[in-house]
Amino acid sequence: AKPPPMATDHPGCRNYIRQALQMKHTPKASADIMISSLSESSLRQYNSGLQKWWKFCRDKHLDPFKIDSNTVLEFLTDQYEAGVSYGSLNSFRSAIALIYGSDLGNEPQVKRLFKGFSKLRPAKPKYEYTWDPKIALEFH
């Protein structure tokens, strides 16, 4: 007998997505093509979030393939409270959406949660300081 998903190690991003598609009865060839639509950099980025999601589900004795939006809200909130950046939370949401199989980002509660994230912890400026172009322009 195959152990429940929570008892196994994270299968890796590509395999996790493939298994989720198979559970939705997606034809193998179609699943392979769908996975190939993701760049290697996206797969690497998503892998981090999916590993955290897998561990979260395992720790809570949840099936990481059977996702409901409230569980995703709880996961994202836990990650936010652990200090994860807005950009990483957004990446986690996108990664889970591949498994979830719907437009998770457009669910009203998820959208509202992300608005709260950005309001409570606004993004830091990309640069600590910037040059004043007026100085350079006045020099000539």
Q: Average pLDDT for consecutive 10-residue bins of the chain (140 residues)? A: 60 93 94 94 94 96 91 97 95 93 86 95 76 72
Instruction: Assign residue 72 the CATH number of its domain.
Output: 1.10.150.130
In a domain, 2, yes or no: no
Q: For residue 30, is it within any domain?
A: no
Residue whose C-alpha is closest to residue 101's, from 42, 45, 27, 21: 21
Looking at the structure of the chain, the number of domains it has is 1
Give the pLDDT of residue 24. 92
Res 7: pLDDT: 54
118 lies in which domain range? 39-122
Domain presence at residue 129: no
**pLDDT at position 140:** 59
In a domain, 84, yes or no: yes
Whether 90 is covered by a domain: the verdict is yes
* Whole-structure pTM value: 0.80
Tell me the helix, strand and coil percentages in the chain, rounded to 5: 65, 0, 35
